[in-house]
Amino acid sequence: MSRISVKTLHPCALESMFIIEQAAHRNPWSLSLIKDCFSPEHLILGIFREQQLMGYLIAHIILDEVSLLNLCVDPAYQRQGCGRILLQHFVSAMHDQGIRQCFLEVRASNCRAQSLYTQLGFEKVGVRKNYYTQPHKKSREDAVLMVASLNT
């Protein structure tokens, strides 16, 4: 990918993030939830081709641990390595900051994401039963819990 960069996002990116969120997820975050993540304890990174936001991630840092809350790539840029580049940058930055572990939850049905996380050193450590709501269904979906050690 040419002219790709990863940068910290600021509130001026909120509208673009929300548009990507709506397009990429079947149960998207609300605008207010994304907005609330622009706080000192959160890290929000975006991946860009020139000035075009292609995706973002939101993480919550607590002391020497971080939770990856949302990794979202615009459907127009999926399967092009954007998620991998963004996640690699994030993991490297957290390692450099002395973060010990990174936690995440992912839908049990999201095999592509689980594969990416596994390739980048995350291990499955558990399941949260009936964690995610499923639009237009009365049932709920399990969350797979994963963790990566960043400073070993």
pLDDT for the residue 92: 94
Topology of domain 4-149 in CATH is Aminopeptidase (3.40.630)
Helix and strand totals (H; E) in the chain:
4, 7
- Measured distance between the N- and C-terminal CA atoms of the chain, rounded to whole angstroms: 30
pLDDT in tens, 111-152: 999 999 999 999 999 999 988 877 677 788 889 999 999 986
pLDDT beyond 90 at 44: yes
Residue 117 is among the residues annotated as catalytic for this protein: yes
What is the bridge-based pairing of β-strands 52-62 and 4-8? unpaired
3-class SS of residue 43: strand
CA distance 113 to 100: 22
Asked if residue 36 has pLDDT above 90, the reply is yes
The active-site residue out of 117, 123, 132, 141 is 117
Domain regions of the chain by residue span: 4-149
Taking a C-beta distance cutoff of 8 angstroms, is the pair 143, 132 a contact? yes
pLDDT in tens, 48-81: 999 999 999 999 999 999 999 999 999 999 999 9
> For residue range 99-109, what is the model confidence (pLDDT) as tens digits?
999 999 999 99
The active-site residue out of 50, 105, 131, 132 is 105
Which pLDDT score, from 0 to 100, does residue 152 have? 63
